[in-house]
Structure 1
Amino acid sequence: MRFTQSMFGAAAVVALSVGATTALAAPASATPNTTPQKVCGSGYKTVNSAAIGSLGTVYLAYNATNGNNCVVTIRTNPGTTLDMSSWIYVPDTNEGDDDYGRYTSYAGPSYVIGKGHCVDWGGGIANTYVQVTGSNCGSLTEHRTTYTR
């Protein structure tokens, strides 16, 4: 959980340092121009997703061949650059990956070996973030949090 909190703290610092005024820019198109499979690569199948308000969706994909998970955040309306992020973390192994930057369409991919482990993952667009913890753990219940900064 400490990793997750520090990831959101880093995202907030980036958003503040870059400036959140670009979040009001008009989108260039009405549909996303990519898919999780195009971003993550062949063999990845979407296993979970979470809406980031009306701005887009963060996807969790899994490749059964190599045991890797992939997270990508895709905007609903690609356009001018916005602060975006994708991240994934495996608490059991303390391994994680993230991508934070200013993008026009998507953030990621973020990869981690997750076979046989619960994963925490999420992403953000502009000042709206989604965090999913305890995900894909069989009988355990995952927890989702959406917030704005």
Structure 2
Amino acid sequence: MDQDGIRRPAGRHMWELDRAEALELLATVPLGRIVFTQHALPAVRPVNHLVEGEDVIIRIHEGGALASLAAPVDAPGVVVAYEADAIDPHTHLGWSVVVTGYARPVADAEDLGRYADLLRPWVGRPMTGALRIRPDLVTGFRLEAAPPPALAVGG
């Protein structure tokens, strides 16, 4: 236990990620969780994604919980958060990234076709659209093992 009486894992450090590194890491995993409002309450859904520039793209299908986020294209969008991570269940080392921003429907037919090819469906429903999350806030952290202490030289 440390001086505050809190038990903390030894030899581990948490580092804050900058925006660029956080987005780079987000692009290395195919799965994340979108946080949105459904019936005036917070809701979370696991989804697959791709990162294009700084934008996070997810697929939607008619009748799904996320279809309600497909506001008209000229609307400002819906505020959402998107989280993805890669944390080892045994060592508890890895990283986590959260993107907060506005989700808007993708309107370009060519982009929709490309996203339909790149984003694999989880259920047997056809993709009826895609959402583009444009990040306003990108936060993240990395949990790393601490290097072993340097040995004293000399005697």
- TM-score, structure 2 as length reference: 0.29
Higher radius of gyration, 1 or 2: 2
- TM-score, structure 1 as length reference: 0.30
